[in-house]
Each structure stands twice: as C-alpha cells, then as structure tokens.
Structure 1
Amino acid sequence: MKEFTVVHCRPTYSQHHIHPYVRSKRKYLPFKDCIGAIDRTHVSAWVTRLDAAMYFGRKYCHTQNIMATCDFDLCFIIVSLGREGSMHDSCIFNEIVINDNVPFPHPKEGKCYLVDAGYPNRIGYLAPFKGNHYHHQQFCNTKENRTANNPRKLFNKVYLSLHSVVERRFGNSKNRWGFIRDVPRYDFANVQVQLVDVSMALHNSIYQNTGNPTTVNPYFNEEEAMAFVNVIPEVEHDKDGLMVGDKDPHMALVGLRIRDKLVYMRNNDYLGNI
C-alpha cells in the first residue's frame, strides 16, 4: 500500500508555471505564485484505552487528525495521518513543516501554499488575515457581509474561494469512502491509518484516470496573466500585515501586496460584485 500511495500522491503540475485553475478567474491572478492549499480534517478512530484520552478531540469522539496538501487539480499530494485528535493544528504544522528532520517537500523559492487560519505566515506558507471574516457562513449571514467591505475581508474572501480546493477534496473523499466516517475496529497504526492513506491515493487514481471534472479553460494564458498582474501599480504598504503568531514579515508583505492588487482590481471593476 505504501508504494501505491507514493506513486499516486504527488504533485500534478509544475511549480514553474501559473496553474490553469488560477488563470481561470481574474480574482485569482494576484495569487499567481500559489501552488496548492493545506488544511486538516478529522477521521473517526478506534484506539486502546491507554490512548483514548489523546485521541479524544473537539469532535467529542476519538479521531485521528490529518493534515493534507492539495494542488489545484484537486489531488492530494502530501498527507500526514495518525495524529492524535486532541493535537492542535499548529503543533502538527510545526512538527511536519518546520521540523528539518521531516522530509516535507517545501515550495520552491517564490512559491507558496495557502494555509488555514490556524497556521502562521511563514516563508512558503500564506495565511489569511486574522480577526476578519474567514468562513463562508460569515460572508453569507447578512446582506451587508455578502460583499467584502474592507481590504482584509476582500483578501480573505478570494483567499477562501481558492483555499476551498482542499476542503472540497476532503468532503469528496469522505463521501466516496463510507468507512472513513465509521472506521472498522482494526489495529490503529497498522490498519486504520493505512486504510485512510490508501483511500486518498485511490481517490487520486480514480480522479486522474476517469477524466478530471475540474478541467478549466483558462481565461488568460501565462503571458497574459503575468502582464495583467504586473501592470497593477504598487502602492506604499502600511505596517498592518504582521499578525499574531506570524514568524515571517516577508510573507505578511506578500499578503499585503495581494490585498492591494485585489483592491485595485475592485476599484477598477475587474472583480464584479465581490
């Protein structure tokens, strides 16, 4: 099973190019250097009494906490499984992404993954603005909030739309493999974790070999996309980008520049009703 997951959980598109999905909508173009998204989910788990407390998490049941990376072809490319359900997301992120002893394939220089609001900004990992709307329901609860009425909300709304690739992939995988919602009582480390791992690889294999339903016709080719974004004038940045928990002011500045480009695009009627 391990060999199967190695073959089928890998990047599907070169990091040297802007992904067609990013080029499919104007609002995504400021995120041209993003290559995928990272998020986490919980899967039910049966564990021994000795481990019961560690795997009892906020879902009020025993779960394994999973962190996964998806590319914009909606395929899992990196998966870390078997973590305790009570373990905080940032701890998993630190153990996997920041630990030099773990062979995590970091983005190439100048590229980045989109990460959930629970993670900090770091080189190669771009988080949304904290303290502002981030979830879909927050933008839809009232008529006033349906439009992102300040620059940070605008950034978060477009960010959320692009980051949702990994959330959709988790949902599709759980719907396809019913046992994930109620994992059989097999040995946890040797069977349960491996079953979830191979289910994600199988999902990729099926997805890649039966026609990719997310195939898009890019609105821009690569040269047009670069020209469109680069022609947007740079503005003088304020110093409100560094957020609580951030470790890297460089990535905070990346977020500010994307925010500024989105504001320029909205002010010039390139974004429609966002």
Structure 2
Amino acid sequence: MQLGCWQDCIGAIDGTHVSAWVTGPDTATYFGRKYCHTQNIMAACDFDMCFIFISCGWEGSMHDSRIFNEILINDNVTFPHPEEGKYYLVDASYPNRVGYLALFKGNRYHQQQFRRSQQNRTAKTSRELFNKVHSSLRSVVKRTFGAWKNRWGFIRDMPRYDFANVQVLLVSASMALHNYIRRNTGNPTTVHLICDEEEAMTIVNAIPEVEHDNDDLMVGDEDPQMALMRLRIRDKLVYLRNNGMLENI
C-alpha cells in the first residue's frame, strides 16, 4: 500500500566510500571521514537493487551534496534526470528540489531511531510518519551498496594499482557486474507490494486532497513544488494509517 503514495518514485540516490590507494600531491584530499584514504561514489539505484547511475573516483573528503551538484550541472555527464513528475528519494545531504524528494529535517528519520525502544517504534507525528516510510523505501540504496560490497572483497582492501586508470575502473566494472548478476540470476524484486498496483492506486486516488498554504511549506533549500508534493504524500500516509491501512508505522 505504501508504494501507492510513491508511484512516481523511480529510485534512490546516496553516496558511499570504498578504500583507495592514493599517492602524490592529492593524497590529503582523499583522506575523509573514514579516517583513511577513500574514493567517494555517488549512485542511483532502482527498487530491484540495480545501479542506474554511478559516478566514481571522487575525493574521500568531498561532501555528498557537492558531488551531487557537480554532476547535475555538468552537461558532459549522462545522468538519468527524472522525467517530469517523477523523482528520486534523497536524504538530508541533498536539497529538496524538483526531481529529488528529501525528508522532513529536524524529525526522526533513520530506522534505528525508531527501534531504540518498543514504545517509540511508531511514528508520533505526521512528519515522522512520512520520514519513516521515506527511510524504509530509500534503504534500498543501502542494501544495494551492501550486496555489491559483500560480493567484491577487493573493495575493502584496494590493490595498489594506479588510482585513476585502474582503481576507479575496477570499482565501476564491479558495479556493472553487480547489475548483470542481479538481472540474470533470478533475484526477486526487492520491494513487495502489500496489494496489487491497481488496487493500491484506486485507494490512494480516492483519498481527499488537503489544501496547504505557504506557511505549511518548509523554507531553505526547499523547492515549493517538491515541498507541496511531500505534504500531499504525508497527508495520504496519515489518511491510510488513520483508516487502518498502515500497520506498525
């Protein structure tokens, strides 16, 4: 049922780090928050746990949001921008802008925050409800990274090959092979629908719309269009929970 509210979502975006062997004048820039040399990677994946875009070789010290902005403004990068009305899920490192739907900042978001105690597992507010479902869906990119890294041991202990000409290409090739394996070994779809798509959309489309004024929209790095979309999804989730169609959320 949850997916009925997110029918225009095409995937999730996040960054991850892999070990790197770097020498020369740029060594310091690859020493990041992992307290070792890493290359930072931005990736977009779909809900079948396949990569639909990767950009490797970024300095380990570079923030995810800067990488994201660099990629989006670079006309030479073939990034799969979402079609009109579609979007990716992103976390707090990224702006809430057209095509990229972020969480409500300042509210519980990560799944472990809801698991810390039995009485706090349920979302207490409408924004927490949105964040909890958003986090659950966006976790597909974390699981994709995990499955990929577990398959390739060299990622955790990078061989001392040339960085730009070998290490970056090795990582890229392993991600392409991950996709090949996922698509050709009978792996099931990661996200399981609670009911079939037609039934879900019939229910969701029947939910009454709530009018919102500008005072209800967050400010800062928020695009009004995406902020309003987020509110509408939040309202539908609240309606579904209040009518017993969402359990333990």
The TM-score by the shorter chain falls in which range?
Answer: over 0.9
8 Å CA contact 1:46–1:186 kept in 2: the answer is yes
Q: How many Å separate the matches in 2 of 1:131 and 1:100?
A: 34
Q: How many Å separate the matches in 2 of 1:262 and 1:77?
A: 28
> Which residue is 1:245 aligned to?
221
Q: CA shift at 1:225, angstroms? A: 2.8
> Which residue is 2:16 aligned to?
41
TM-score by length of 2: 0.94
8 Å CA contact 2:49–2:141 kept in 1: the answer is yes
Q: CA shift at 1:218, angstroms? A: 4.2
- 1:117 aligned partner, one-letter code: A
Count residues in correspondence: 248
Q: How many Å separate the matches in 2 of 1:81 and 1:174?
A: 14
Q: How many Å separate the matches in 2 of 1:193 and 1:241?
A: 41
Structure 2 counterpart of 1:205, from 180, 204, 208 = 180
Structure 2 counterpart of 1:185, from 160, 163, 174 = 160
Structure 1 counterpart of 2:130, from 152, 155, 159 = 155
Q: CA shift at 1:216, angstroms? A: 6.5
* Aligned CA distance change for structure 1 residues 259 and 98 (closer, same or farther; 3 Å): farther
SS in 2 for 1:203: helix
After TM superposition, list the pairs within 5 Å mapping 1:137-176 onto structure 2.
137-176=112-151
8 Å CA contact 2:48–2:191 kept in 1: the answer is no
- Which segments of 5 or more consecutive residues in structure 1 lack a partner in the other structure? 1-25
- Which segments of 5 or more consecutive residues in structure 2 lack a partner in the other structure? none
> Which residue is 1:226 aligned to?
201
8 Å CA contact 1:81–1:197 kept in 2: the answer is yes
SS in 2 for 1:40: strand
TM-score by length of 1: 0.86
> Which residue is 1:85 aligned to?
60
> Which residue is 2:100 aligned to?
125
- Residues 1:115 and 2:87 aligned together: no
- 2:106 aligned partner, one-letter code: G
Q: How many Å separate the matches in 1 of 2:217 and 2:137?
A: 20
Identify which range, 158-167 or 94-103, moves more after superposition.
94-103
> Which residue is 1:96 aligned to?
71
Structure 2 counterpart of 1:256, from 231, 242, 245 = 231
> Which residue is 1:7 aligned to?
none
Identify which range, 214-223 or 173-182, moves more after superposition.
214-223
Q: CA deviation digits over 1:148-187, x for unaligned, max 9? A: 0101110010001110111000011111101001110100
Q: CA shift at 1:101, angstroms? A: 4.5
8 Å CA contact 1:45–1:62 kept in 2: the answer is yes
8 Å CA contact 1:130–1:243 kept in 2: the answer is no
Q: How many Å separate the matches in 2 of 1:27 and 1:222?
A: 11
Q: CA deviation digits over 1:111-169, x for unaligned, max 9? A: 10111221011111101111111112211112332110101110010001110111000
> Which residue is 2:247 aligned to?
272
- 1:133 aligned partner, one-letter code: R
Q: % of aligned pairs identical?
A: 71
8 Å CA contact 1:28–1:158 kept in 2: the answer is no
- 1:242 aligned partner, one-letter code: M
* RMSD after superposition: 1.5
Q: How many Å separate the matches in 2 of 1:61 and 1:70?
A: 26
8 Å CA contact 2:148–2:178 kept in 1: the answer is yes
Q: How many Å separate the matches in 1 of 2:194 and 2:28?
A: 50
